[in-house]
Amino acid sequence: MNQSMESKTENLVPKMKTIPIRTKPMKRKASIKNKIRMFKMQSDKKIRRLEDKKKQLFEAAKSTSTSKPPGSDWTS
């Protein structure tokens, strides 16, 4: 009975017919210094991107606030 149960469970699992050939060499484990450097670079990129976005928003706000909408007079 045990043998028949095992064969049933084996049939449920799809079998790989071909073994995939690894084209890339195994990655070397990154040292802690490298991990820290990579993390800093990523965070710097994110900060720079956010600053650029903020700058664009400020520029857009400036251009809309300084230009008068048609038909309105601010002096009165």
Q: State the DSSP H helix or E strand holding residue 53, giving kind and residue range, or none if neither.
A: helix 32-66
Taking the C-alpha atoms of residue 22 and residue 60, their distance in angstroms, rounded to an integer, is 50
* Euclidean distance between CA atoms 12 and 16, whole angstroms: 13
List pLDDT tens digits, range 63-75.
876 655 555 555 5
Closest to 62 measured CA to CA, from 74, 54, 50, 70: 54
Tokens in use for 46? 């994110």
With a threshold of 0.75, does the pTM exceed it?
Answer: no
| Tens-place pLDDT, residues 9-43 | 556 666 666 666 767 677 778 799 999 999 999 99
